Amino acid sequence: MNDRSVSVLENYDFEVIRTQKSRNAILCETNKGWMILKEYKGPEFRLEQMERLLDTVEENGFNGAEKLIRTKEGELFCTDQDQNRCIVKTWPGGRECSLRDGQECRQAMHALAKLHKAMKSPELKEEFGLRAAGLLEEYEKRTRQLRKVRRFLRDKGQKTPFEIYLQQNFDPFLEEAVQVTEEVRAYGKVLDSQECSETGSFCHGDCQHHNILCAGTVFVINFEKFTLDSQMRDLYLFLRKLLEKTNWSAPQVRGLLDVYGRENPLSAADWLQLYYRFAYPEKFWKIVNFYYNSGKAWIPGKNAEKLERLIAQKSVKKAFLEQTFSL
């Protein structure tokens, strides 16, 4: 997103007072409030679905979500001088939720619980024709990828120091991945996509702290990755980053889950979903996947540090799972 993109704002029915750069976007103060201009790389039909979902969320009583703004011609996007698709959304202001602020995290969890209730729509599920991917399908794919990279490392001749270190520590993580995948398989329909398919349970899809804004009240932004899936996916994404920063503090997470549950009670299947999402070695899979597919973008030193931290946290992660979940 560059300054040349600002010219597309002429296509909208508001007067721009001033602009300022933000995270991969441009903030715009207008005579109709603050807006945000962003580049959009997805298909047009996803924007149509996103608008329908956000309208449904508001109709269902949640007023803390962004809105897409149409152009004067009624379009959901326009094209800048570089042929990039751009979208404009409302901008509520505020700052990113601080994972080090307990009160803000509790407010975020309460807002997320209310959002999730408003994101249940069997009608939209039918209208969009979406299919929820089950947890088993996701983990089977990732575990196959881990096995593929393990074979690659085993057969590789001359190895870098990082590759030697990775190979030395590979098997325990792969064993965790296999065990979790097999346990998820054993639970069968309890953990498949059946429930969210029937209830039309949508989730945000990228529920990171930087997509939750605190400004007295809580606002949720950047719904571009919304999907039909267990809403525990959103909870996991938010809490995972928090746990990485607090060395897997079980009491704090239980407190936040209590806040969520008072507004939107967690079922036994929800607790299972959360447990297995935390139990699967996703961070290790990410490091391995990036190593195998990044080519010249690979930075050995930085990723070696990530792997070292991951190995160092194995015992506290195990303690967190035991203290938080009683299955």
Task: List the chain domain ranges.
Answer: 3-91, 102-324
Run of H or E including 127: helix 122-128
* Alpha-carbon span 133 to 228, nearest angstrom: 8
Decide if pLDDT at 140 tops 80.
yes
Q: pLDDT band at 133, cuts 50/70/90? A: confident
Task: Report whether 28 contacts 34 (CB < 8 A).
Answer: yes
pLDDT band at 296 (very low <50, low <70, confident <90, very high): low
Tokens (6 digits) for 45: 């039909």
Candidates 3.40.50.10860, 3.40.50.620, 3.30.200.20, 3.40.50.150; CATH matching 3-91: 3.30.200.20
77 in Cβ contact with 45 (< 8 Å)? no
Query: How many angstroms separate the CA atoms of 195 and 139, rounded?
Result: 18
Mean pLDDT of 90-119: 95
Angle between helices 268-279 and 314-324 (to 10 degrees): 170
- Both tokens of 207, joined, read 């529920």
User: Cα 271 to the chain's mean position, in Å?
Assistant: 18
DSSP-derived secondary structure letter, 204: -
Task: Flag whether pLDDT at 203 surpasses 60.
Answer: yes
Is the pTM for the entire model greater than 0.75? Answer: yes
With bands split at pLDDT 50, 70 and 90, how would you rate the model's confidence at 187? confident
249, pLDDT greater than 90: no
pLDDT, the chain, mean: 92
Select the more confidently predicted residue: 56 or 23: 56
**Residues 259, 313: Cα–Cα separation, whole Å:** 26
Q: What is the pLDDT of residue 22?
A: 85
Band (pLDDT 50/70/90 cuts) for residue 191 is confident
Q: What percent of the chain has pLDDT over 70?
A: 95
Q: Dig out the tokens for 324 from the structure.
A: 């938080």
Strands, E, within 201-303: which ranges? 202-203, 212-215, 217-220, 227-228
Torsion angle (degrees, nearest 10) of CA 150, 156, 160, 164: 40
Q: Output the CATH code of domain 102-324.
A: 3.90.1200.10
Backbone angles phi, psi at 133, to 5 degrees: -80, 130
At 1 the pLDDT is 55
Res 134 pLDDT > 90: no
Mean pLDDT for 142-167 is 94
Which residues, other chains included, contact 284 with Cβ-Cβ below 8 Å and sequence gap of 6+?
A: 146, 173, 177, 307, 310
